[in-house]
Chain A
Amino acid sequence: MLANILSISLGAILINNFIFSQFLGCCPFLGCSNKVDTAAGMGLAVVFVMGLASAICWVIDNYILIPLNLAFLETLAFILVIAALVQFVEMFLKKSVPSLYSALGIYLPLITTNCAVLGVVLLNVQNNYNFIESLVYGITGGLGFMLAIVLFASVRERTQFSDYPECFEGFPICLVSAALVAMAFMGFSGMKIF
C-alpha cells in the first residue's frame, strides 16, 4: 500500500508531471507564470482544489453515479462538482482566511476551467484508483503542477531581459522556453520505481 502510494506520488510529481508530460493545465501555467509569487499562489490553490475535487468526485462517482447506472454522466457531474467546489472554497476563504483569499485573487475562480483539475478526476476513474489513491494522486498532481509553474516562472523572469526576435514576444517565447524545461523533465521519464 505504502509503496503504491509512493509510486503514485513520485509519478505524479516528476515522471508524469501534469504539465510537462501530460499537457494538463497549460492555460494557467502560461497565463500566471509572470512572477514567482503569483505562480506559487496559483500552485497552492490548485493543490488545494485538486485534492478536494478528487476526494469528493470519488465519493460521488462510487456512491451515487455507479450504483444508479449513471456513469455516462461523469463528465457533466464532475465539472459541476468542481465549479461548485471552487465557489465554495472561495466563499470559505473570504470569510475565514481573508489574507489567503486576497493573495489568490482572480486565480481562484479561474481554477474551474483548469483542465488539470477535471483531468485528475477523470484519470482517477480511468485508473480505477481507490479513495486513498485518488486523494494522493490529486494532491501530488497539484504539487507537480506547483513545482512546474514555480520553476517556469523563475525561467520566465529571466527571459524578460534577454534579446529575442520581436515576433516571438509574448506567448511564443514562453512556449519555446517551456519546451526547454519540458526537455529537462524528460530526464525523469526513464525512472522506474518498484
Chain B
Amino acid sequence: MNRKQQFKEGLITNNPVLVQQIGMCATMAITTTLFNGVGMGLSVLIILTCCNVVVAALRKIIPDEIRLAIFVVVIAGFVTIVDLLLQAFIPALSAALGVFIPLIVVNCIIIGRAEAFCQKNTVKDSFFDGIFQGLGYTCVLIIMCVFRELVGSGRFGGGLIDIANGFRFTLDGTGGGIQIFPEEFGMSIMNLPFGGFLTLGLLIGLMQYALKRSEKKKKEADRAAKEAAALKEVEE
C-alpha cells in the first residue's frame, strides 16, 4: 500500500475528526490548552497504533460474531496501560484530562479503524495507518487548542511552554505559555463548552469548503484537458 497516500488520507482526505466525523466528545472537551491537546493526541496515537497492530495480527483467528467484544477488550487493555503510565510519569496530564483518558476506550476512532481497516490489512499497513490517523487526530486537536487558547485567553502553548524560567518545555503543567495579548481582552467564552462546539463546527465547515473546492478544481482541470485534447483532434 502506498505510504504517501495513507499519510494524505490520515491527515486530510480521510481525517478522523474533520471528514469521518467521529471521536468528537474528547475533541471538544479537552482542547482548552496546548498541553492537553498534545497529550491527548499522542495518547490516542499510541493506543491506536498498538490496537491496530494487535487486531491486524489476530485478524485471521478472531471469530466474526464476537469481534467487537474482542476489539473492546484489546482497546481497554492498552488504554489501561497508557492511563497507568501517565499517572506514574506525567501526573499533571493525567489530572488535566481526568475521565477522558479511560474514555478513549469508547472513542469511535479506534474501534472504527479496527473494524474498517485492520480486519482486512496486513500488520505493517495497519501500523502505519495507526500512526497517520493518530497524527491527523493530533493535528486537529492542536489547531483547535491554539485557536481556542489564543481567542479565549490570549495565550499560546499554555502548560507546555515555560518562559518564566527561560524558554523551555515543561511536562508538569506549570508553564504559563506565551502571553500574546492581555488575558482580560480574550473572549473567555471560548474556553467554555460553547467555544468547543463552535470551533469544531467552524473547522469542519472550513474543511468541507476546501474539499468541495478542490474537487471542483479537479473537475474543471479534467474538462479543460479533455477539451484541449478534442480541439487537437479536430485540428489534426
B16 lies within 8 A of chain A by Cβ: no
Partner of A20, one of B76, B98, B106, B193: B193
> Please, which residues of chain B bring their CB within 8 A of the CB of A79?
72, 76, 105-106
B208 lies within 8 A of chain A by Cβ: yes
Instruction: Name the residue of chain A whose CB is nearest to the CB of B208.
Output: A167
Are B25's CB and A172's CB within 8 A? no
> Please, which residues of chain A bring their CB within 8 A of the CB of B26?
23
CB proximity of B89 to chain A, nearest CB, Å: 16
Are A179's CB and B194's CB within 8 A? yes
B24 lies within 8 A of chain A by Cβ: yes
> Please, which residues of chain A bring their CB within 8 A of the CB of B202?
172, 176
Are A123's CB and B99's CB within 8 A? yes
Instruction: Name the residue of chain A whose CB is nearest to the CB of B212.
Output: A167
Docked pose: A32 CA to B36 CA in angstroms = 29
Partner of A183, one of B106, B189, B201: B189
> Please, which residues of chain B bring their CB within 8 A of the CB of A26?
24-25, 28
Partner of A75, one of B28, B79, B205, B212: B79
Are A76's CB and B198's CB within 8 A? no
Docked pose: A176 CA to B200 CA in angstroms = 8
> Please, which residues of chain A bring their CB within 8 A of the CB of B76?
75-76, 79-80
CB proximity of A92 to chain B, nearest CB, Å: 19
> Please, which residues of chain A bring their CB within 8 A of the CB of B83?
75
B73 lies within 8 A of chain A by Cβ: yes
> Please, which residues of chain A bring their CB within 8 A of the CB of B206?
167
Given contacts A114-B106, A174-B201, contact A23 B99 (CB under 8 A): no
Are B99's CB and A126's CB within 8 A? yes
Partner of B208, one of A30, A115, A169, A185: A169
Are B25's CB and A113's CB within 8 A? no
Residue-wise interface mask of A (159-180) relative to B, using a CB-CB cutoff of 8 A (1 in contact, 0 not): 0000001111111111110111
**Number of residues from A at the complex interface, CB < 8 A:** 45
Instruction: Name the residue of chain B whose CB is nearest to the CB of A176.
Output: B201
Interface residues of B (CB under 8 A from A): 21-22, 24-26, 28-29, 69, 72-73, 76-77, 79-80, 83-84, 98-99, 102-103, 105-108, 111, 189, 192-198, 200-202, 204-206, 208-209, 212
Interface residues of A (CB under 8 A from B): 20-27, 30, 72-76, 79-80, 83, 112-115, 118-119, 122-123, 126, 165-176, 178-180, 182-183, 185-186
Are A76's CB and B80's CB within 8 A? yes
CB proximity of B157 to chain A, nearest CB, Å: 23
Given contacts A23-B25, A26-B25, A186-B194, contact A75 B72 (CB under 8 A): no
Given contacts A167-B209, A169-B208, A183-B189, contact A76 B77 (CB under 8 A): yes
CB proximity of B140 to chain A, nearest CB, Å: 13
Most buried by B among A76, A80, A173: A76
Ranked 7 nearest A-B pairs via Cβ? A175-B201, A179-B197, A23-B29, A167-B209, A172-B205, A179-B198, A176-B201
> Please, which residues of chain B bring their CB within 8 A of the CB of A178?
197, 201
Instruction: Name the residue of chain B whose CB is nearest to the CB of A30.
Output: B24
Docked pose: A171 CA to B208 CA in angstroms = 10
Given contacts A175-B198, A179-B201, contact A115 B106 (CB under 8 A): yes
Are A186's CB and B200's CB within 8 A? no
Q: Can you list 15 A-B contacts (CB < 8 A)?
A: A23-B26, A23-B29, A27-B25, A75-B83, A80-B76, A115-B25, A122-B99, A167-B208, A172-B205, A173-B201, A175-B197, A175-B198, A175-B200, A175-B204, A179-B201
